[in-house]
Amino acid sequence: MSSKLSEMIAAYMRAPTTTAGLRALALAALVLVLDQASKLWVLHGLGFQQPGDSVTILPFFSFTYVQNIGISFGLFGSEGAGRWLLVTFQFAVALFLIGYVRSKSQPLLVAALALIIGGAIGNGLDRARLGFVVDFLDFSRTHVFPWVFNIADSGITIGVALLIWHFMRADKDQASQPDAG
């Protein structure tokens, strides 16, 4: 059975890389770089010493340092072995999506997956390196959105929304075509 799995993985990885797939990988890398650079800036450039340190930018927006041990927006906190399961899961999903997206050509699909890949790797690196994810974008003063988040969270959230839109459009296109049977 393991040789069959190895053959399936090898065939999967031999799929040709499209121009759109290369663009997706570049977008994922951009999200990752922006995410990690912004977190370094928050940790070292703003002089934040401890969680809760904050700088008000606008009446409804602040940079607030938060150490998030959970997944997106602090849900399902995970420490110890759970942390490493989450890190492993994030990197496994990212690797699978990298292999998948590189052979695709639908612009909306590759953009969505690229955002998810970049975000998953960005938050996974934080969790592996620091034991938590650095969050800092704080719109809680709007009293509408109480969570503090980061660029990786934004990439994942926007990517999932685009993915849903992609599949809704595909279903609509399929439903509007006459049956071939």
Residues belonging to the active site: 135, 153
Alpha-carbon gap, residue 42 to 134, rounded angstroms: 8
- Cα-Cα-Cα-Cα dihedral sign, residues 87, 161, 37, 145: negative
Give Dmax over CA atoms of the chain in angstroms. Answer: 66
Alpha-carbon gap, residue 43 to 65, rounded angstroms: 8
Q: Are 83 and 89 in contact (CB under 8 A)?
A: no
Q: Are 124 and 94 in contact (CB under 8 A)?
A: yes
For 8, the token pair is 């399936």
For 105, phi and psi rounded to 5 degrees? Answer: -130, -5
Residue 12: count of CB within 10 angstroms of its CB: 12
Q: Are 116 and 108 in contact (CB under 8 A)?
A: no
Which amino acid is present at 82? G
